[in-house]
Chains A and B, each alone.
Chain A
Amino acid sequence: MALLEVKDLVKSYGDRNVLDGVSFDLEEGEAKVVMGPSGCGKSTLLRCLNLLIEPTSGAILLDGNDITRPSADVRALRSRIGFVFQNFALYRHMSVLDNVTLALRRLKKLPKREAEERAMHELARMDMAEKSDAFPAALSGGQSQRVAIARALAMDPKVLFFDEPTSALDPIMVREVVTLINRLYLDNVTILCVTHDLGLAKHISDRVVFLHHGKVYAEDRIEELLHRDDPVLEDFFGGED
């Protein structure tokens, strides 16, 4: 049984289906990338998967449990899914350490000392332990993204969602973050990543789900998609390989 099963997911705004029957699976320890042209529904898909946006229809099964049913505990579900945002979304009035410990203390109810130990462990894993007292405004984009990843990992999630994790970074920081996410991939962290970044997709993914007009247009290994004789894929990848 897959860790995450998405079945015939639809999200409509009025007459417009942003997601139109999306289905795919994510196995435990797998890293999957969602790619597609702007406006194809990638970010909406990610937000639907932890119910930040309510899907119109379809089913999302996490560990076999349908999280879209009305009786599902949405907050408990969200604490099992780590979410790393494009613009880092660090709480700017809190230090790096407080950013990481906040959910541990308030949601997992860990004592301060234990929460800080776990936070420091994850910050060290992201090479950010020495910045634990710094505030987000003093961090570079790459450092902010590393703190955001540490914050998500500290909650010990079943799966980690990335929403365009490199799009707000310069090329040097992109390499830094790609290396970190690749390290997570090699550590068998289950990852679902929305990105435009072909380099990131090549480094971290087993398979790519290619969305087009709200539907799964193709799902395959990135190398296969790059060499497929298909005008839509060729148009998106622009002959890169």
Chain B
Amino acid sequence: MSFFDILQILLQGAGYTLLITFSCAATALVVGLGIAMARELGGRWASAVLSALVYVLRGVPMLVLLFIVFFGLPGIGVDVPPLVAMMLSLGLISGAYLSEVFRGALAAVNSNEVLAAQSMGFTRFQTLRLIKIPQMLRFSVPGMVNELTTVLKYSPFAYTVGLPEITKQAMALVAMTMRGIEIYAAIGLIYFAIYRLLLGAVRLIEKHYAIPGFAQE
């Protein structure tokens, strides 16, 4: 079996890796945005509760949360499919981190612009939607890229709940061929290629939405 053959077999798992990465990243984006918005618009109590939730989620190991969701919840009668379990563990933890990225980016929005919007009669929600969020998302790009990369790198944990992503394929191949160095080097290359593709896509989006004359690079 040549190195090219190994790559071809491993690439069959790449679709699952991408599916896991995008599903968890999308969950993280929704959770992160939801927490950041609720902190902005909610009262002091909502903010305190959400801060505590973020604090806890950031402290829990991803694999522990995955096992609680996938192996623990069936014990109380809730069966969770493997992909959903990944979204509820990796997606939630990543969302907690993203909410902190968004919190910092919101703080970077010029307070005078917010005051100007309010002085014209915009509601808090309109000010958030029209002035703060569009800038927040732009300021958050570096942090979002970091988090997307983290999600990609944590996606191999999906093999523990039976998803046939690249690492699981590799383990099966190693068991058959005993060519561990080549096979694990190959999946390293595949992960790096996926990372470069994602990074390229993000850079294109970033360039498209860049504010002319406003240095962010």
Interface residues of A (CB under 8 A from B): 50, 52, 74-79, 81, 83, 85, 87-93, 102-103, 106-107, 134-138, 155
Contacts and interface: CB of A to CB of B under 8 A. Distances in A.
Contact of B115 (A74, A85, A92): A85
Contacts, number: 70
B123 A75 contact: yes
A107 B117 CA distance: 11
11 contacts: A50-B119, A52-B118, A78-B119, A88-B112, A89-B115, A91-B116, A92-B214, A93-B211, A93-B214, A103-B120, A136-B213
A106 B115 CA distance: 17
Interface stretch (B43-51, B128-136, B172-180): B128-136
Q: Shortest 4 CB-CB distances between A and B: which pairs?
A: A137-B213, A89-B116, A79-B121, A89-B112
A102 B117 CA distance: 10
Contact of A93 (B112, B118, B138): B138
Given A52-B118, A78-B119, A102-B130, A135 B213 contact: yes
B126 interface: yes
Nearest to B111: A89
Given A85-B112, A89-B112, A137-B213, A155 B118 contact: no
B184 to A, nearest CB: 45
Q: How large is the interface on B (under 10, 10 to 19, 20 to 34, 35 or more residues)?
A: 20 to 34
Contacts of A155: 120
Contacts of B213: 135-138
Nearest to A135: B212
Nearest to B118: A52
B79 interface: no
A92 B113 CA distance: 8
A91 B120 contact: no
Given A91-B131, A92-B113, A79 B120 contact: yes
A83 B116 contact: yes
A91 B113 contact: yes
A233 B71 CA distance: 79
B114 to A, nearest CB: 9
A83 B138 contact: no
Question: Which residue, B113, B121, B214, has most C-beta atoms of chain A within 10 A?
Answer: B121
Interface in B85-139: 110, 112-113, 115-123, 126, 130-131, 134-135, 138
B178 to A, nearest CB: 56
B44 to A, nearest CB: 18
Contacts of A138: 212-213
A105 to B, nearest CB: 10
Contact of A135 (B116, B119, B214): B214
A78 B116 contact: no
